[in-house]
Amino acid sequence: MRVDLMRRLALVFALLMPLAASAGEAEPLAHDQALEERVMQLSHSLRCLVCQNQSIAESNAPLAIDLRNQVREQFLAGKDEQAVVDYLVARYGDFVLYLPPFKGVTLLLWIGPGLLLIAGAGWLGWRLRKRASEPTHKLTAEEHARAMALLEGGSDTSEESRS
């Protein structure tokens, strides 16, 4: 009986062990859930400079962690999203933004796809119009008869097919 109880206790402890281990490694989360959500939301729109194809929300690079902490700290200090973004842009440039601002150097980036679309549509329109103005080829009576014969399942009997 006693042995059984001991075994059960041992099992309970064994099962609780991983909990203790993960509790030790978890990142210190702020208790304020709403704040944490704001931090993550903004972090998703900021590019990590170390692993450049990840946002600082996704990256575990030390710099990304530092920057997330900066964002949290600045929110706690009462700054709003725009102020935090300005703070980071002042240090790392527009490169940190996944949504680059509309200005001189980014002009082509923003309007380039639109220009390409307009150019493509223009070219297509021009080609269609050109094709419409081309004289259409009318079938001769002989060609028409041959086509009908083919459509009805007969074999091609014209001169061309035999040669």
Work out the number of other CB atoms within 10 angstroms of the CB of residue 10: 10
CB 39 within 8 A of CB 85: no
Work out the number of other CB atoms within 10 angstroms of the CB of residue 94: 13
Q: Which stretch binds another protein (CB under 8 A): 62-70, 75-83, 116-124, 139-147?
A: 62-70
Site for another protein in 68-87 (CB under 8 A): 70
CB of 102 to another protein, least distance (A): 17
Amino acid at 62: P
- Read off the DSSP letter of residue 57: T
**Contact between 67 and another protein per CB under 8 A:** yes
CB of 131 to another protein, least distance (A): 15
Query: Is residue 128 exposed (0-12), middle (13-18) or buried (19+ Cβ within 10 Å)?
Result: exposed
Amino acid at 50: V
**Contact between 63 and another protein per CB under 8 A:** yes
Q: How many residues sit close enough to another protein to count as binding (CB under 8 A)?
A: 16
**Contact between 126 and another protein per CB under 8 A:** no
**Contact between 66 and another protein per CB under 8 A:** yes
Among 35, 40, 65, 97, binds another protein (CB under 8 A): 65
Q: Give me 62's structure tokens.
A: 């030390």
Positions in the binding site for another protein (CB under 8 A)? 49-50, 52, 62-63, 65-67, 70, 89-95
